[in-house]
Structure 1
Amino acid sequence: MNSDQIAGKWKQLKGEAKIMWGKLTDDELDRIEGHKDKLAGLVQERYGRSKEEAEKEVNRFFDDRA
C-alpha cells in the first residue's frame, strides 16, 4: 500500500491500529495521518522497540491490509 492509499484509508485503518497498539492515543493516531514513519516512531517510543523492529511491525500492519 503506497502513501497516498494509506492516507486515504487512514480513518478506517486508525481503528485497527488502535487495537494493535493500544498504548497510542486517538490524538496521536490523528496527528500521524497514516504516515508510516511517524507511526513507527510512536511504536518505537511507546513499546521500546528498536527502530528496525518498529518499522517492520508497521510495514507488516499496512501490508496485511493492502
Structure 2
Amino acid sequence: MNKDQAHGQWDKISAKVKQTWGDVTDDEIKQAEGNMDELIARIREKYGDSKEAVAEKINQLMKD
C-alpha cells in the first residue's frame, strides 16, 4: 500500500489496527496519521514484530 492509498483509507486502517493491535493507543495512531511507516514503527515498538510482518498484516487487513 502506498502513501496515497494509506492516507485515503486512514479511518479504516486505524480501526483495523486498534482491533488487531489493541495496545496501540488512539494518540499513537493520530500522531502517525497518514504515515504508514510511522504507524508500523509504533506497532513494532509495542509488539516487537518485524517491519515486514506488520506491513503484510496491515495489507491483509485492508483486503478483508
The reply to whether TM is greater than 0.5 is yes
Contact residue 17 and residue 58 of structure 2 kept, 8 A: no
Unaligned runs of 5+ in 1: none
Q: How many residues align?
A: 64
Moved over 3 A (4+): 58-62
CA RMSD of aligned residues (A): 2.0
Shift of 1:32: 0.6
Q: Which residue of 1 aligns with 2:21?
A: 21
Contact residue 7 and residue 35 of structure 1 kept, 8 A: yes
Q: Which residue of 2 aligns with 1:50?
A: 50
Q: Output one character per residue of 1:3-61: Cα deviation in whole Å (capped at 9) or x when no partner.
A: 11211221232112111111100011111113221121112110121333333333433
Unaligned runs of 5+ in 2: none
Gap change, CA 1:8 and 1:49, over 3 Å in 2: same
Work out the CA distance in 1 between the residues paired with 2:17 and 2:24: 9
Classify the secondary structure of the residue corresponding to 2:9.
Answer: helix
TM-score w.r.t. structure 1 length? 0.71
Kindly provide the amino acid, as one letter, of the partner of residue 33 in structure 2.
E
Question: Identity over the aligned pairs, expressed in percent?
Answer: 38
Gap change, CA 1:5 and 1:51, over 3 Å in 2: closer
Work out the CA distance in 2 between the residues paired with 1:12 and 1:53: 19
TM-score w.r.t. structure 2 length? 0.72
